[in-house]
Amino acid sequence: MLLQGGTGIPHLKWFGVEGDYNVMVIDLLGPSLEDLFNYCNRKFSLKTVLMLADQLLNRVEYMHSRGFLHRDIKPDNFLMGLGRKANQVYIIDYGLAKKYRDLQTHRHIPYRENKNLTGTARYASVNTHLGVEQSRRDDLESLGYVLMYFLRGSLPWQGLKAGTKKQKYDKISEKKMLTPVEVLCKSYPSEFISYFHYCRSLRFEDKPDYSYLKRLFRDLFVREGYQFDYVFDWTVLKYPQIGSNPRVRQPSGRTGGTVVPSAERVERTSAGQEVRDRFSGAVEAFARRHGSGTGQHGENLKHKALEDSLLSPKEAVHDSDKTHASSSRNGSTSKRAVISSSRPSSSADPNDQQLSRTSRLVSSSTSSRPSATQRLHHSGPEPRVSSLARKATGRVSRDEPPHRSFEFLSISGDRRK
């Protein structure tokens, strides 16, 4: 509950006990960065990595500001939002999080050694491998490995073979310590080397200079001449026309006049976009009634594949804790929630490894009839699609009852090493 209200923190809707299960209901979110990494053939461009880095640093900084370490920073634990939040990164899975200081006294946890490895070995900091108690510096070092993983496609200590888990951890640790950051970041901008040098220079209780780290990457972004337009690699794959549009094509080497907005800023949509937003749902409903041949009174909603969860940047609002005044399109509202449940366990893994397999229950419901007052006023003739949309909206609201369906989504509990 201490994290609630922050940008990129899933909203906790309900938690409690149901039979033998501990249950938590949170926002329904989109694909993880690991899912999107695979979707993009396991390589992200520098532009995508830098746009992500800005948000990832913000998420980690927020957790630290609330007195918690995450201790399991990895691509699987960062999810993109859905709908208007499709460009916003969320941080999830606080099962290994630890309070590192008291919010009133600001007293830091003491330095300790001989600790078991907590987290995922692939992204664990060098100090974590050495058995040192984790602090803020370790979350940031892990984030650096995530960024290099995205750029390189893999890390040098992946794929090592060993007989036991401990032997594998030892091999990963040895390879990680024997790989200089200059080698790890070879062929990539020197800012990544600076990032690692800074993280490793921090003492146990030091407060990191998050602004310095974000500025490192923002200055690089400007120098490369990129536009902070939230057109990620997966956006271009999903919508190839965006990548070929000269208005959004990325310039090379242009340094003047490039503005890098904060990842927390809201994009104001144009009036034309507002028209599309308000009537898109109605047009889709009209198409379903007259083109699909399916019944009016509802077949079960099907879970969308990964591609269907990726929105065009025109349809999504940028990273922000603010929302547009209009919370619904064509007057309808929808609520979705994810229920994560796991059996309570009386025994803990001695290595503080990942907790348990979970299942998610997705609840989707749509309701309410569009209000007669929800109209757009235009000077001049009204677009043809608007009248079509109004007609379709009226039919759908009268003829089609609200859909209520539930689907079980199995989520793998396997943790990559």
Q: Give the confidence band of 186 by pLDDT, cuts at 50, 70, 90.
A: very high
Choice among 78-82, 281-285, 325-329, 381-385 with the minimum mean pLDDT? 325-329
> What span, in angstroms and rounded, lies between the C-alpha atoms of 120 and 353?
8
> What span, in angstroms and rounded, lies between the C-alpha atoms of 279 and 177?
56
Choice among 57-61, 232-236, 244-248, 342-346 with the minimum mean pLDDT? 342-346
* Structure tokens given for 404: 């209520």
Tell me the per-residue pLDDT of 37-60, one tens digit each, with 9 for 90 and over: 999 999 999 999 999 999 999 999
Choice among 14-18, 40-44, 297-301, 401-405 with the minimum mean pLDDT? 401-405
Please enumerate in sequence order all residues whose Cβ is within 8 A of that of 119, keeping only pairs 6 or more positions apart, or say none.
71, 72, 73, 74, 96, 128, 134, 142, 352
| Domains of the chain (ranges, CATH numbers) | 30-244 (1.10.510.10), 271-411 (no CATH)
* Strand partners of residue 335: 365
DSSP 304-356: P-TGGGPPPTTTSPPS-S---S--SBTTBEEEEEEEEEE---SS--TT-----
Kindly report the number of other CB atoms within 10 A of residue 233's CB atom. Answer: 21
Query: In what helix (H) or strand (E) does residue 25 lie, and over which residues does it extend?
Result: strand 21-27
Tell me the per-residue pLDDT of 355-375, one tens digit each, with 9 for 90 and over: 343 433 334 444 444 444 444
Grouping H, G, I as helix, E, B as strand and the rest as coil, residue 286 is helix
Q: What's the rounded mean pLDDT across residues 332-344?
A: 42
Does residue 229 have a pLDDT over 50? yes
The residue with tokens 């005044």 is 325
Radius of gyration from C-alpha coordinates of the chain? 24
Say what the pLDDT of residue 171 is.
97
* Closest listed residue to residue 33, CA positions, set 220, 248, 310, 302: 310
- In a 13 Å sphere around the CA of 3, the CA atoms on its Cβ side amount to 24
Does residue 145 have a pLDDT over 50? yes
Tell me the per-residue pLDDT of 201-213, one tens digit each, with 9 for 90 and over: 999 999 999 999 9
Q: What's the rounded mean pLDDT across residues 331-351?
A: 42
Q: What's the rounded mean pLDDT across residues 78-103?
A: 95
* Closest listed residue to residue 45, CA positions, set 188, 185, 210: 188
Tell me the per-residue pLDDT of 155-164, one tens digit each, with 9 for 90 and over: 999 999 999 9
* Closest listed residue to residue 208, CA positions, set 77, 338, 100, 333: 100
Does residue 129 have a pLDDT over 90? yes
Does residue 294 have a pLDDT over 80? no
Say what the pLDDT of residue 178 is.
97
* Structure tokens given for 195: 């990032």
* Active-site option among 27, 54, 72, 93: 72
* Structure tokens given for 163: 């007989």
Known active-site residue 72: yes
Output the average pLDDT for the chain. Answer: 74
Q: What's the rounded mean pLDDT across residues 105-119?
A: 96
Q: Give the confidence band of 103 by pLDDT, cuts at 50, 70, 90.
A: confident
Say what the pLDDT of residue 412 is.
41
Say what the pLDDT of residue 48 is.
98
> What span, in angstroms and rounded, lies between the C-alpha atoms of 297 and 265?
40
* Structure tokens given for 187: 């062929």
Does residue 9 have a pLDDT over 50? yes
Say what the pLDDT of residue 282 is.
44
The residue with tokens 């990544």 is 192
> What span, in angstroms and rounded, lies between the C-alpha atoms of 17 and 22?
5
On whether the CB atoms of residues 361 and 263 are closer than 8 A, the answer is no
Q: Give the confidence band of 241 by pLDDT, cuts at 50, 70, 90.
A: confident
Q: Give φ, ψ of 333 to 5 degrees.
A: -125, 150
Q: Give the confidence band of 410 by pLDDT, cuts at 50, 70, 90.
A: very low
> What span, in angstroms and rounded, lies between the C-alpha atoms of 109 and 100?
5
Q: Can you give the pTM of this predicted structure?
A: 0.64
* Closest listed residue to residue 85, CA positions, set 291, 255, 318, 245: 318
